[in-house]
Structure 1
Amino acid sequence: MTIHQESARYTISSGDHLVTVRNRKRMDMTSVKSIERFDQEEFYVNTSQGHLLIRGEELRIVHLDVDKGLLTLEGEVKQFQYDESESGLSKSFLHKLFG
């Protein structure tokens, strides 16, 4: 990923996946393909770099632009983790049911 600074602005190459967390209260993402599932405690997001699991409290979508692949969440971010396997969604679901 290349970030270019133009005066006080930063530009990010198209297609790059970027995650920014501000004070664990706001999370901005690029290259978001879809949101597989979400509630106030957990988001499961499909990105260009794989599935991203975000856990926290009182999580909510502030901004979503599917065409541009942009997502902004607010709430208390406690954990985020990439899942390399394609079956991560079903594993998490089954694990929750049968633990």
Structure 2
Amino acid sequence: MSQYYTSVPNKDKPAQNHDIVIRNRKTIEITGVKHVESFDHEEFLLETVMGFLAVKGAHLKMQNLNVEQGSVAIEGKIFEISYLDDQDGEPSKGFFSKLFK
């Protein structure tokens, strides 16, 4: 997996919304992104304002990254989208075990 670290400056910013828009399983646009933790052609791992988000698929590539707005657009064949932490907002103890299934 390629490592790509970025952060969205959040000084004096109000809480950011988190939205996901999928078009025909070929394009996904995500807002509320804090960091792009890692990515390759099969998986993107993003830290969002709502927790860690994994996008899995084939031939995935980043189409757009707007650090100031905290948005990412990914293109490719999308198979799965999943959050990698517990529903109560606390990261699970098995974070890395879920990541490397």
Please indicate the TM-score interval, normalised by the length of the shorter structure. Answer: 0.7 to 0.9
Deviations for 1:54-82, whole angstroms, at most 9, x for unmatched residues? 10000000000111101000000000000
Distance 1:45 1:86, change over 3 A: farther
Matched, 1:57 2:63: no
The residue number in structure 2 matching 1:15 is 16
Higher helix share: 1
TM-score, normalising length from structure 2? 0.73
Q: What is the alpha-carbon distance in structure 1 between the residues aligned to residue 45 and residue 92 of structure 2? A: 12
Q: Which runs of 4+ in 1 moved over 6 A?
A: none
The residue number in structure 2 matching 1:31 is 32
Q: What is the alpha-carbon distance in structure 1 between the residues aligned to residue 92 and residue 45 of structure 2? A: 12
Q: Secondary structure at the match of 1:91?
A: helix
What runs of 5+ residues in structure 1 fail to find an aligned partner? 1-13
Residue type at the aligned position of 1:91:
S
TM-score, normalising length from structure 1? 0.75
CA-atom RMSD, angstroms? 1.9
What runs of 5+ residues in structure 2 fail to find an aligned partner? 1-14, 86-90
Tell me which structure has the larger Cα radius of gyration.
1
Identity score, percent: 32
User: How much has 1:86 moved relative to structure 2?
Assistant: 5.5
Q: What is the alpha-carbon distance in structure 1 between the residues aligned to residue 32 and residue 83 of structure 2? A: 14
